[in-house]
Amino acid sequence: MKTASYGSWKSPITPQLITKAAPGLDQPHWDNGNLYWLESRPWESGRNVVMRRSADGTVSDVLPAPLGARSKVHEYGGAPYLVADDVLYFCLDADQRIYHLPVNNEGALPEPLTPEDDSLRYADFCIDVTNQQLICVCEKHGSGHEPENTLVAVPLDGSQQLTTIASGADFYSNPRISPNGTKISWLCWHHPQMPWDGTELWLADFANGRPHNAHKVAGGPNESIFQPQWSPDGKLYFVSDRSNWWNIYRLGDDLQATNICPMDVEFATPQWVFGMSTYGFLDANRIVCCYTQQSCWHLATIDLNSGDLHNHPSDYSDISALHAQGGNAFFIASSATTAPQLAQFTDNHISPVYGGKPLPFDDGFISQPQAISYPSVKKEGTSDRYAQAIYYPPTNQDYQAPQGELPPLMVMCHGGPTAASGTSLNLKAQFWASRGFAVLDVNYHGSTGFGRRYRDALKGNWGLCDVDDVVAGANHLAEKQLADPQRMAIRGGSAGGYTVLAALTFHNTFKAGASLYGIGDLEMLAGDTHKFEARYMDSLVGPYPESKAIYQERSPIHHIEQLDSPVIFLQGLDDKVVPPNQAEAMTAALNQKKIANAYVPFMGEGHGFRKAENIIRAYEAELYFYSRVFDFELAEPVEPVRINNMD
């Protein structure tokens, strides 16, 4: 083994590998013996391709290049396609119209079902076979203060005559028709709730393609409903967090809901995009589902007669996008050492279907993630003072550090802030751990997977609880001599980028940081973000402008005199969620104060980077930045980045 300082080690986990190791897989769907899914390809500028595995095992692209399926509803999108009776219905990335394409008609071209109108976007399709129409979410952008969201019916005859069937709420999702076609359900919610705060489940009679006698059957401002779904025998199921935990419920004929399997675990995840699914029906008597406990996801089945849950053990620690039909279930899964793959559950047996190619290096370069908890600041109104995180020790089979040296620490802050980090393969964390960084991926208070009370602890406390938890986590590792207290860095994107900047500004724990499309001015964001998150900060910080003083108090831009650590900013110039003026304002303030900083903008990128060349550039720039700040020589060449105010 070579002896070299922590942080400088050469690793086979390169930025190029991260973009090519595995495509993004999502939303499997079964139709007429064929399996479909979405595949996101960074090497094709982030194009989302609808893929198919035929009954004979042949895998092919359904959408030819350069076509891509992507919805921009809520900016984050999701659920941009559906296949029914060998016809693909999809939202075309380029113009956001809905098209249909017969999948077995070679050479056929997509035909539009919606009008040519760049103010309209669509997502979350449900087919109404009886009335030959699609039911979906429609978002209309115009001259008003914010877009209008509705449920619409889209005829399949190509007439392009849209009919609004539900309106009045700020947001809609999950329109679903009962098996006999006589009922329809959907979710909706209102400002300032986010879907993980409070949603409403509505039920209506369905006749002649339109809902009648609609009434709310579950949910409200303090109850989050997730994934309403009809069973084969016509019962409506849904996930609710009314017990503190997201559990699965069945709606009775008397409209009373029964928890089918009460457990202190989460059968759901925050609905950031459309089409998210954690359970499905193998038949009228059995559900297949996934749930998370202590940052690890599990696959299970539930007997609907007895309520008994049976776990189906596997090496997978992350399971998502579960779709069940015809006695089979398909889902996206990964483990601590395997990339995401499409897997199948049939006859109580789990088997891989597609993807998940072996990584092109030995396991000796993989750091084994460890779920830990540690004491933090006690949260007001609760007895809970323990935060959750995933710890990765520095690992590289080719290197050892000089005796007595402690590794630099990389604290990672997930976005959301209502999201979560798990123990499955995370090449972003492994990128740093394999170079000799200790890595702490923090599930600060406000993260999901630990019950509603843990999630709600961030309400009114954004910029406080999350920052307390990342600081406490760094100090925890330093006290255990697992990290060098003089070489602690922190990185995060979006909401995680705000936590980064707040931690650097209001505490002295970290010596450097990276803000990826992060927030430096909460007040600016309150008036300059998209509709979906326009009122998110009402609960995280307080209503604006009534709480203007708090917004300013917690905004790093207003306390730049306290920020003395170097920062690198990575920003997409087309970002509508966190516009580039946030990063530009922070860099201007740091330059005025003569604090070292770097600003790396990316043309053609929005909120998050989708193009391979930009992902590679971002990693290399950040690695180079830390090598200069922490003064170590890199064992591999990277493209330098200009660092302002650094000698």
Model confidence over 372-404: pLDDT tens digits? 999 998 766 555 689 999 999 999 999 999 999
CA R_g for the chain: 24
Helix, strand, coil in percent for the chain, rounding step 5: 15, 35, 45
Contacts of residues 99-108 at CB distance under 8 Å and 24 or more positions apart, as own/partner, are 100/156, 101/62, 101/63, 103/34, 103/52, 103/62
pLDDT exceeds 70 at position 513: yes
Kindly state the average pLDDT of the residues 184-191: 98
* Interatomic CA distance for residues 225 and 302, integer angstroms: 19
pLDDT in tens, 222-255: 999 999 999 999 999 999 999 999 999 999 999 9
Q: Which residue has the higher pLDDT, 408 or 43?
A: 408
For the record, the structure tokens of 317 come out as: 């620690």
Share above pLDDT 70 across residues of the chain, in percent, rounded to a whole number: 99
User: Longest C-alpha distance within the chain, in Å?
Assistant: 77
Q: How many Cα neighbours within 13 Å face the side chain of 438?
A: 26
* Contact assessment for residue 459 and residue 540, using Cβ atoms and an 8 Å cutoff: yes
Kindly state the average pLDDT of the residues 608-634: 93
In this structure, the strands spanning 488-493 and 512-516 are parallel
DSSP-derived letter for residue 359 is: P
pLDDT in tens, 91-117: 999 999 999 999 998 889 999 999 999
CA 574 to chain centre: 19
DSSP-derived letter for residue 636 is: S
Nearest partner of 540 among 606, 444, 449, judged by Cα: 444
User: Phi/psi of residue 604, each to 5°?
Assistant: 75, 10
pLDDT in tens, 338-355: 889 999 999 999 999 998
- When pLDDT is cut at 50, 70 and 90, the band that residue 42 belongs to is confident
Kindly state the average pLDDT of the residues 473-492: 97
- When pLDDT is cut at 50, 70 and 90, the band that residue 547 belongs to is very high
Nearest partner of 392 among 369, 372, 374, 371, judged by Cα: 369
- What is 2-15+367-629's CATH number, 3.90.1010.10, 3.30.70.20, 3.40.50.300, 3.40.50.1820? 3.40.50.1820
Nearest partner of 273 among 559, 496, 38, 545, judged by Cα: 38
pLDDT in tens, 551-608: 999 999 999 999 999 999 999 999 888 889 999 999 999 999 999 999 999 999 998 8
* Interatomic CA distance for residues 491 and 568, integer angstroms: 9
Please report the pLDDT score of residue 357 as a whole number.
Answer: 76
* Interatomic CA distance for residues 413 and 468, integer angstroms: 12
Tell me the residue ranges of DSSP E strands in 446-557: 488-493, 512-516
Q: Where are the domains of the chain?
A: 2-15+367-629
Please report the pLDDT score of residue 383 as a whole number.
Answer: 57
Nearest partner of 50 among 85, 16, 18, 93, judged by Cα: 93
DSSP-derived letter for residue 585 is: H
* Contact assessment for residue 369 and residue 391, using Cβ atoms and an 8 Å cutoff: yes
Q: What one-character-per-residue DSSP string does 206-269 give?
A: EETTEEEEEEEEEEBTTB-EEEEEE-TTS-EEEEE-TTSS-EEEEE-TTS-EEESS--SSBS--
0.85 surpassed by pTM: yes
Residue found under tokens 């993980």:
196
Please report the pLDDT score of residue 379 as a whole number.
Answer: 61
* Interatomic CA distance for residues 260 and 242, integer angstroms: 13
Top-confidence range, 40-44, 298-302, 376-380? 298-302
Residue found under tokens 């080690």:
9
